[in-house]
Amino acid sequence: MSLTLYWHPQCQTCRKVKKWLDEHEVSYTAKQIVNDPPTREELLDMYQKSGLELKSFFNTHHKRYRELGIKDKTKKATENELLDLLASNARIIKKPILTDGQIVIIGFKEQDFIKLLSE
């Protein structure tokens, strides 16, 4: 299984995920989300496979999210418009994201990680 972790070094949850993966000797490719963000196509694929609402991919705590007024935009924007917003600014993508190409986990819930690794 090949895992990709989208993370940001200043994100406490991201550092916690990296530490957990390393302690459990899990092999993964780490991509700093700001320097190496997922493409629009990758975001679409992750969204479709995650089973989550597209709004779940937005980092609602980031100041750029508020500056761009994304909360209001999500109420009336199309899926394509929301994907374009995410793809245009990696800082507003919620992180960490861990994926094996089929399963997508946003954030850190240990039971989700254990389930992913046991499959």
CATH of the domain at 104: 3.40.30.10
Q: Quick one: pLDDT band at residue 1, thresholds 50, 70, 90?
A: low
User: pLDDT of 59-82, one tens digit each?
Assistant: 998 898 888 888 888 888 899 999
The count of structural domains within the chain is: 1
Tell me, yes or no, whether 91 lies in a domain.
yes
Helix (H, G, I), strand (E, B), or coil: what is residue 55? helix
pTM of the model: 0.90
Q: Tokens at residue 107, please?
A: 């954030």
Nearest Cα to 28, choosing from 118, 117, 119?
A: 117
Tell me, yes or no, whether 41 lies in a domain.
yes
Q: Tokens at residue 4, please?
A: 């990709």
Sign for the pseudo-dihedral over CA of 110, 87, 80, 66: positive
User: pLDDT of 93-106, one tens digit each?
Assistant: 999 999 999 999 99
Tell me, yes or no, whether 4 lies in a domain.
no
